[in-house]
């Protein structure tokens, strides 16, 4: 039998959330930004959030503690794909990670999920539920035996795999990619077994159903957000003529940076243009090779490790922001740029049309994977300052009207509460669990915690679900009794129909 579930007040009760982030770059990469801003917004709503994270560790709000679960950092920025020394293998999860890597696989999601399970099993009773940010490792299935798990899937990595395979130049490259991306098979198996999943767009919803085989009824769309008071036009900052800006969290085919660089090479033959890339270049990577081959080293600059305020300024300095992706599950960089009032040129890959809105109204749109068409769209936008100003203003308003981290947090809490309720035992099992006394300490601690929140003297407890799917509530605590004993008496009365 599973451990007795913790008791929940109504939907407004603060939750204790263990948030899992297997990697969390703070400024580029959707997972790090999502972790940082969503956990802050959950804390703003009064919930207790603790992040269990791997390298690169996320930067968090001061109210959100970080528990570091270090990996072997095989994919660090300074020496990626390094082979760890035997002296570094100090825990059984380290052996799992290095063994998976030795077989040519990406080992982080599996190894991190096992580290998270190993950590959480030592802290039973301290969390109400777990929210996983797309690790989708087998460790989640072990965690789910003791705690409700809500999974976030931004988009299925199977899409990345498919695009990389299509663009691979040799049979050997396709073979190594197939091996590296083999972790997506695990992610599909885990996703199919999670009780509830949220994703960020209708486009991703359809792709996850198709690629991961997840039952549509267990999936719910919760778009991500942005803070328009932070990502805003900066007064007094002048636009630099011909300046373009883009974000590149990784040097992968899906992000389409190659097509933007090819478009830039065409445009520089007719006008002064320059490109700022928010991200760190990969030495010897495809983008670096393309920049060198096209002779763009003097007009392309990469920026990383700067303050948030400097990022807002760079957007305000730019005449256009570009999202050249072949596919996006949502695209935080798109709405961040729009929120800053920068006119956006975006492809129509994946979920981008539902995010950026209509062409010539809230963004300039173009088909993905076509550098000629992208150059033409950028040229048209640069040549029409009046239309640029209108699109930039309407794009910012679209973001204000539709996306904020508070909205994301409120919708996420709905799903967190639902997954907690879904995990409730039926009334017969719950009563047997109470009568066994095996979990008296956990139940008493839960009752005492809820009682502290009570103002009127009549705590309302939500006990999961009965066998008939109707909620049981306890509207009183017996005077003078210990919390656990009083709770048992009240449950007995409710179950007896009194």
Tell me the C-alpha distance between 23 and 9, whole Å: 33
Read off the pLDDT of residues 326-343 as tens digits, 9 standing for 90 and up.
999 898 899 999 999 999
Please indicate, yes or no, whether residues 22 and 110 belong to a single structural domain of this protein. Answer: yes
In a domain, 11, yes or no: no
Domain count, the chain: 3
Whether residues 261 and 186 share a domain: the answer is: no
What's the CATH code of the domain at 214? 3.40.50.2000
Per-residue model confidence (pLDDT) at position 328: 92
End residue of a domain, out of 221, 255, 271 = 221
For 334-345, give one letter per residue: b (16+ CB within 10 A) or e: bbbbbbbbbbbb
**What's the burial of 67, exposed, middle or buried (CB within 10 Å: 0-12/13-18/19+)?**
middle
Asked if residue 478 is part of any domain, the answer here is yes
> Is the residue at 231 inside a domain?
no
368 and 488 assigned to the same domain? no
127 and 261, same domain (yes or no): no
Nearest-angstrom CA–CA distance, 210 and 459 = 44
Confidence check: pLDDT of 120 > 90: yes
| pLDDT for 6 | 44
Residue 188 shares a structural domain with residue 255:
no
Q: Residues 125, 38: one domain?
A: yes
Q: Are 316 and 206 in the same domain? A: no
Residue 46's domain comprises 16-221
- 158 plus 256 within the same structural domain: no
pLDDT of residue 169: 84
Rg (CA), the chain: 25
In this predicted structure, the answer to whether residue 364 has a pLDDT above a threshold of 90 is yes
Asked whether residue 229 is assigned to any structural domain, the reply reads no
Q: Mind listing the pLDDT tens digit for each residue in 181-206?
A: 999 999 999 999 999 999 999 999 99
For residues 70 and 184, state if they share a domain.
Answer: yes
The model's pLDDT over 423-471, given as tens digits with 9 standing for 90+, comes to 653 444 444 555 555 555 555 555 555 444 443 333 334 443 333 333 3
286 and 189, same structural domain? no
The mean pLDDT of 86-95, rounded to a whole number, is 92
The model carries a pTM of: 0.78
Indicate whether 77 and 210 sit together in one domain.
yes
Residue 460 and residue 10 in contact, taking contact as beta carbons nearer than 8 Å: yes
Domain membership flag for residue 237: no
pLDDT of residue 69: 96
Q: Is residue 26 part of a domain?
A: yes
Calpha distance 201→195 (Å, rounded): 19
Cα gap 171→307, rounded to integer Å: 43
Instruction: Give the pLDDT confidence score for residue 424 in this predicted structure.
Output: 58
Query: Is 417 within the bounds of a domain?
Result: no
Read off the pLDDT band of 498 (50, 70, 90): very low
Q: Quickly state the pLDDT bin for 7 (edges 50, 70, 90).
A: very low
Q: Do residue 335 and residue 377 come from a single domain? A: yes
471 inside domain: yes
Listing from the earlier edge strand, what are the strands of the sheet with 149-153? 66-68, 48-53, 16-21, 129-133, 149-153, 196-199, 219-221
Q: Which residues pair with 276 in a beta bridge?
A: 245, 301
Instruction: Please list the residues that pair with 320 across neighbouring strands.
Output: 244
């Amino acid at each position: 039998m599973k451990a007795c579930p913790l008791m929940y007040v109504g939907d407004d009760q603060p939750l204790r959330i263990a948030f899992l982030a297997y990697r969390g770059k703070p400024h580029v990469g959707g997972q790090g930004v999502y972790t940082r801003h969503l956990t802050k917004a959950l804390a703003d709503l009064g919930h207790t959030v603790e992040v269990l994270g791997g390298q690169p560790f996320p930067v968090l709000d001061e109210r959100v503690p970080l528990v570091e679960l270090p990996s072997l950092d095989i994919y660090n920025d300074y020496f990626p794909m390094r082979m760890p020394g035997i002296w570094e293998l100090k825990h059984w999860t380290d052996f799992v990670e290095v063994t998976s890597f030795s077989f040519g696989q990406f080992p982080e999601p599996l190894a991190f999920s096992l580290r998270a399970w190993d950590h959480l099993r030592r802290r039973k009773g301290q969390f109400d539920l777990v929210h996983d940010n797309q690790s989708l490792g087998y460790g989640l299935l072990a965690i789910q035996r003791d705690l409700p798990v809500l999974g976030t899937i931004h988009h299925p990595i199977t899409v990345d795999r498919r695009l990389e395979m299509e663009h691979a130049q040799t049979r050997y490259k396709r073979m190594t990619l197939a091996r590296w991306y083999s972790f997506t098979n695990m992610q599909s198996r885990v996703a199919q077994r999670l009780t509830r999943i949220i994703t960020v767009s209708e486009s991703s919803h359809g792709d996850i159903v198709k690629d991961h085989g997840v039952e549509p009824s267990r999936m719910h769309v919760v778009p991500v957000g942005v803070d328009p008071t932070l990502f805003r036009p900066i007064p007094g900052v002048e636009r630099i003529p011909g300046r373009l800006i883009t974000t590149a969290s990784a040097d992968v085919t899906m992000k389409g940076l190659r097509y933007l660089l090819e478009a830039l090479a065409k445009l520089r033959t007719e006008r002064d243009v320059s490109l700022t890339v928010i991200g760190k270049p990969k030495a010897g990577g495809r983008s670096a090779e393309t920049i060198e081959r096209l002779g763009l080293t003097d007009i392309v600059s990469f920026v990383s490790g700067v303050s948030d305020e400097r990022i807002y300024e760079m957007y305000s300095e730019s005449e256009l922001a570009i999202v050249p992706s072949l596919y996006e599950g949502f695209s935080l960089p798109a709405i961040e740029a729009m929120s800053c009032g920068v006119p956006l040129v975006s492809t129509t890959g994946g979920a981008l049309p539902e995010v950026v809105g209509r062409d010539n109204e809230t963004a300039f749109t173009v088909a993905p994977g076509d550098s000629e068409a992208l150059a033409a769209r950028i040229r048209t936008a640069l040549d029409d300052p009046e239309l640029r100003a209108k699109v930039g203003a309407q794009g910012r308003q679209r973001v204000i009207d539709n996306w904020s981290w508070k909205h994301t947090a409120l919708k996420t809490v709905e799903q967190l509460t639902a997954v907690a309720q879904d995990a409730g035992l039926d009334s017969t099992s719950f009563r047997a669990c109470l009568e066994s006394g095996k979990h008296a300490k956990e139940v008493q601690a839960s009752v005492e915690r809820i009682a502290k929140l009570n103002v009127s003297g009549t705590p309302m407890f939500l006990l999961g679900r009965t066998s008939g799917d109707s909620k049981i509530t306890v509207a009183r605590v017996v005077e003078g009794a210990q919390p656990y004993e009083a709770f048992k008496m009240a449950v007995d009365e409710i179950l007896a129909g009194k």
